[in-house]
Amino acid sequence: MRRVLLLVTDLQPGGTPLRIVRTARELPKYGFEPVVGCLAAAGPLSETLRGEGIETFACDARHRLDVGALSRLVGIVRRYDPDMIHSTLFHSNVAARMVGRSGRARPIVTGSATIEIERRTHRLGEALTSGFSDWHVANSVAVAEHLCEELGFSRERMVVIPNAVDVGRIDAAAPIDRREWGIASDRPMVVWVGRMDVVKGLDTLLDAIELVRCERACSLVLCGDGPERGRVEARAGGLADIHFVGWQAAPAAWLKAADVMVFPSRTEGSPNALLEAMAAGCAVVASDIAPCRELIEPGVSGELAEVGDATGFVRAIIRLLGDAGLRSREVESARRAVEASHAVGTVMSKLSGFYDLVLCGGTAAKRILARYEPPANNGLT
């Protein structure tokens, strides 16, 4: 088998690391041996992968500028001697570009999973080092446009491969029993799923729920953890019937039990939580940002509201809670959209085909990729 080293910043539970875990599980079916590692210390997902027989490593970076982690990565690359490196997220991308060719020449594929608006150093670092990647993978057209238009990435080396959703696993999940969590079963349940980060718009969500309750009672459940959790819990301290349930290994169980999933992020790439809600049959209200517009047709497969506009979210939530027929129609349309473009088999065939062509090397790969998925624009305008 051809060996692919998958590198990410950390292996803590979260959208991108979980996506990489799913990719690693599938790659052997397509003739690739995955090795998965992170720049930080080993995380819970490292243990998960090892338990499934997948090689993992950690560079044990103590801080963002820990050059010792780069030195350790050099040794790791030489030890595993992969045929290709595929990194994702800023720090991993820079590390792969700097030391990924240790020992011998090999293709370096880097990747972006979000539109970066908060961290200027990340934007600058990606822009200055992008030329050292052989190819760059974006998980949505919106992310690709951002990278090419704002950060100067080469369109000729940009490929769009969407996030995959394990529809079978979601179908197999049983809804949670609200009573076991002390959540009222006689009122609607609104849920949010994700990493509690500054860009997730959780203040907008709390403001919206306060206003929704002026018209009808509802429970709010937040599934996730992260650096903002303490602040968000303090902000929600005066509100009743709000449940912080922490990170959940099977968020689909919560999505199946919910009436509406609200997703008020200020920025995203191609949000896994939103895709899972669409696959799980949960009606969705999301921010009207480019990545969400790629996934949701307003009034057909979900609802969109302006970023930060709590009253806009309130209108959409009330509309869905009050119209079971509308929820049913949007849920069915959303599920069809996920099955058409984001099913694991569809995405993995695309990714493995891309890997095959990259490993052809040089101009041959570029010539084949021009037929496979035109690198000049990849569907971008």
8 A C-beta contact, residue 326 and residue 320: yes
CA-wise closest residue to 288 among 297, 275, 279, 280: 297
The residue with greater pLDDT, 379 or 243, is 243
C-alpha 276, offset from chain centre: 10
Cβ pair 311, 178 in contact under 8 A: no
CB neighbour list of residue 336: distance below 8 Å, 6 or more residues apart: none
- Strands 283-287, 260-263: pairing is parallel
H helix runs in 199-281, sequence order: 202-212, 229-235, 251-257, 272-280
Considering the domain architecture, whether residues 246 and 353 belong to the same structural domain is answered as no
Binned at pLDDT 50, 70 and 90, residue 370 comes out as low
Please report whether residue 359 resides in a domain.
Answer: yes
pLDDT of amino acid 118: 72
Task: Tell me: pLDDT of 381 over 80.
Answer: no
pLDDT in tens, 293-348: 999 999 999 999 999 999 999 999 999 999 999 999 999 999 999 999 999 999 99
Q: What angle, 0 to 180 degrees and rounded to 10, lies between the N-to-C axes of helices 90-99 and 120-129? A: 30
Beta bridge partners of 37: 7, 57
Residue 375 reports pLDDT greater than 50: no
Residue type, 182: G
Helix (H, G, I), strand (E, B) or coil at 167: helix
pLDDT at residue 365, as a whole number: 57
Residues 141 and 43 in one domain: yes
- The tally of domains found in the chain comes to 2
Query: Is 150 in the same domain as 240?
Result: no
More confident residue, 369 or 93: 93
- In this structure, the answer to whether residues 195 and 322 fall within a common structural domain is yes
* pTM exceeds 0.85, yes or no: yes
C-alpha torsion sign, points 175, 177, 180, 185: positive
The residue assigned the tokens 């990545």 is 291
In this prediction, residues 62-89 reach a mean pLDDT of: 94
Positive or negative CA dihedral for 22, 27, 33, 38? negative
Does residue 378 belong to any structural domain of this protein?
Answer: no
Give the domain extent around 173.
Answer: 167-341
380 within domain boundaries? no
Same domain, 180 and 221: yes
| Strand 135-138 to 108-112 pairing | parallel
What is the CATH classification number for the domain harbouring 126?
3.40.50.2000
Instruction: Give a yes or no: residue 351 inside a domain.
Output: yes
Q: Name the pLDDT band for 53 (thresholds 50, 70, 90).
A: very high
Residues 108 and 158 grouped into a single domain: yes
Name the band, by pLDDT with cuts 50, 70 and 90, for residue 377: very low
Q: Could you tell me if 158 and 215 lie in one domain? A: no
* Residues 53, 146 within the same domain: yes
In a domain, 381, yes or no: no
Both 315 and 272 in one domain: the answer is: yes
Residues 19 and 160 in one domain: yes
Higher confidence at residue 300 or residue 379? 300
b/e burial code for range 271-298 (CB count within 10 A of at least 16 → b): bbbbbbbbbbbbbbbbbebbbbbbbbee
For residue 344, the model assigns a pLDDT of: 95
Tokens found for residue 72: 């350790």
**End-to-end alpha carbon distance in the chain:** 37
Within-domain flag for 377? no
The average confidence (pLDDT) of the chain is 92
| pLDDT, position 379 | 42
Are residues 304 and 174 part of one domain? yes
User: Which residue from 245, 251, 250, 196 is spatially nearest to 219, judged by alpha carbons?
Assistant: 245
Examine the domain organization and report whether 116 and 257 are in the same domain: no
Q: Looking at the domain assignment, is residue 189 inside a domain?
A: yes
In terms of C-beta distances under 8 Å and separation of at least 24 residues, what long-range contacts does 182-186 make, across chains too? 182/243, 183/219, 183/221, 183/243, 184/219, 184/241
Residue entry with tokens 């599934």: 223
Domain assignment present for residue 58? The answer is yes
Closest CA to 18 of 55, 41, 43: 43
